[in-house]
Amino acid sequence: MSALLFRSTNGQSPAVNLREAFLAGQAPDRGLYLPEAFPRFTPAEIAAFAGLPYHEIAARVLTRFTAGIIPDATIAEMCHDAYDFNIPLELIHDRIFLMRLDQGPTASFKDFAAQMMSRMFGHFFQEDHREVTILTATSGDTGAAVAHAFHNIPGTRVVVLFPIDEISLSQRKLMTTLGDNIRTVAIDGKFDDCQAMVKRAFTDPALAHIHLSSANSINIGRLLPQSVYYFYAASRLAQPGEPMAFSIPSGNFGDMMGAVVAREMGLPVRKIIASVNENDSFPRYLSSGVYEKISPSRNSVSNAMNVGHPSNLARLVAVYGGQMDETGKIHRQPDLAAMRRDIFSSSINDERTRTSLRDFWNKYQILLEPHGVVAWQGFLDWNAVEPLGNAPAVIVETANPAKFPEEVEKVVGWPPDVPAAITAALAQPEHHDRMGADYDQFRSYLLARHAPA
Ligand SMILES: *Cc1c(COP(=O)(O)O)cnc(C)c1O
């Protein structure tokens, strides 16, 4: 079987196979990779997921993309190994459920993709012994998930940049206590500074001899594993062929693109609700057809979603037949009517986020955190204009409340329970390097670490 090809959303770079798309991260023309055509499941194939554990559903979905590149049996093994934690589906009321994606090793949904990506990078290294350095900037959750997933994976080194004053203690400790092939660098600056330094390194000719790759949400390897839990939820909660609604708290729109991928592969979907905080460039675009990014991005309590220009919008626009470049400029409008039929989007400000978190606790005795509650409130906004009826719906909770203890305690009056993974990290000694937001210094740092032995 010949391997699936991936093309760039900017349409200038040649189509490549999954391995090349994965190792490159971003396409040479600065676009994002998408499959030329999405593989499709038959309704019978989707119905068969009902009896399968999560890791087997993951293998069936992912092998549609990896066939011809990685043996199916290897993918099955990786999935079995990676997905050994629970994915609770908690009843809220009627047929509305909370899907908790916070039971992985770093207590956020970023673990789902990071755990798979590290295994795939490890596999490619075993094949051709090309060492790779994963360079990533983080505002908290991505860095922790990536550091954990790549710890001791042969052939990989990880360098994580984080803004010294902008991340919580538990987020920091989940990265800085690992050591070995994981280096963390505290930057005296903002997340935007960290991201700018990483972006520059990728295009710096002086670093061309170092094989750099990214694990951020532009990498196709990050997107594909994030489609699996939508199939999983439907296999447990919907009748065969019955469409369901998903509400997803969105920042870079990688998680919600997972739902779009699942829909393109044949999963019946009633509505995808992209719930955002005050960074409302997408809901404005969906209603007006005019895209204006928010710059600088607005700070809010759901800090993992403080994204003024979601990078995955280029992919969403492409799926609907349009073209948006990496700066947010639209070269060809997508089919906006079809997009509005499939997707709803609502912006929730901090005041509504806090009120909703308290109300939700009082009404259902279920504890959310600032990201998941944005999804809940976005769902209510949608349901007010388009009643759900008796259809099933899932609200996606993307992090454990213990990652945001101050905010949660302020609202409900007591601190959330801390999962074992976080307690363990908090007890470990940490080590990180530190520097100013100075690109030349960062380049020297990378060069020193990659000097020939
Ligand atoms: C990253 C993150 C999000 C946003 O996910 P995107 O794929 O960037 O839209 C939401 N919630 C939490 C807790 C996150 O860490």
Domain boundaries, the chain: 76-106+222-412
The tokens for 90 are 């908690």
Length of the chain: 453
Closest by alpha carbon to 161, among 134, 181, 179?
Answer: 134
Distance of CA 68 to the CA centre of its chain: 25
- Ligand 1 nearest atom to the CA of residue 372, by list position: 11
Residue nearest to atom 14 of ligand 1 (CA): 304
pLDDT in tens, the chain (453 residues): 689 999 999 999 999 999 999 988 889 898 999 999 999 999 999 999 999 999 999 999 999 999 999 999 999 999 999 999 999 999 999 999 999 999 999 999 999 999 999 999 999 988 888 888 999 998 778 999 999 999 999 999 999 999 998 888 888 999 999 999 999 999 998 887 898 899 889 889 999 898 888 888 789 999 999 999 999 999 999 999 999 999 999 999 999 999 999 999 999 999 999 999 999 999 999 999 999 999 888 889 998 898 889 989 999 999 999 999 999 999 999 999 999 999 999 999 999 999 999 999 999 999 999 999 999 999 999 999 999 999 999 999 999 999 888 889 998 898 999 998 899 999 999 999 999 999 999 999 999 987 764
Would you tell me the crossing angle of helices 169-176 and 141-150 to the nearest 10 degrees?
A: 20
Q: How far apart are CA 178 and CA 431, in angstroms?
A: 8
Dihedral Cα 422, 425, 426, 431, nearest 10 deg? -140
Domain at 76-106+222-412: CATH architecture: 3-Layer(aba) Sandwich (3.40)
Closest by alpha carbon to 266, among 298, 302, 230?
Answer: 230
Q: Ligand 1 pocket check: which of 305, 400, 422 to mutate, most ligand atoms within 8 Å of Cβ?
A: 305
Contact status, residue 409 vs residue 401, Cβ threshold 8 Å = no
Q: Ligand 1 pocket check: which of 148, 216, 217, 255 to mutate, most ligand atoms within 8 Å of Cβ?
A: 255
108 CA from centroid of ligand 1 (Å): 8
The CB of 255 under 6 Å from ligand 1? The reply is yes
The tokens for 149 are 């997933």
Q: Ligand 1 pocket check: which of 32, 101, 108 to mutate, most ligand atoms within 8 Å of Cβ?
A: 108
Q: How far apart are CA 437 and CA 163, in angstroms?
A: 9
H or E element, residue 89: strand 89-93
71 CA from centroid of ligand 1 (Å): 30
The tokens for 12 are 């200038």
User: Between the CA of residue 192 and those of 94, 156, 318, what are the distances in Å?
Assistant: 42, 25, 26
150 CA from centroid of ligand 1 (Å): 20
The tokens for 33 are 């990779």
400-409 pLDDT, tens digit per residue, is 999 888 889 9
The CB of 277 under 6 Å from ligand 1? The reply is no
3-state secondary structure of 141: helix
Helices (DSSP H) in 129-165: which residue ranges? 141-150
The CB of 248 under 6 Å from ligand 1? The reply is no
255 CA from centroid of ligand 1 (Å): 7
304 CA from centroid of ligand 1 (Å): 5
| Cβ atoms within 10 Å, residue 410 | 13
| Cβ atoms within 10 Å, residue 118 | 26
Is the four-CA dihedral 153, 159, 163, 164 of positive or negative sign?
A: positive
Residue nearest to atom 1 of ligand 1 (CA): 304
The CB of 371 under 6 Å from ligand 1? The reply is yes
Q: Ligand 1 pocket check: which of 398, 407, 422 to mutate, most ligand atoms within 8 Å of Cβ?
A: 398
368-381 pLDDT, tens digit per residue, is 999 999 999 999 99
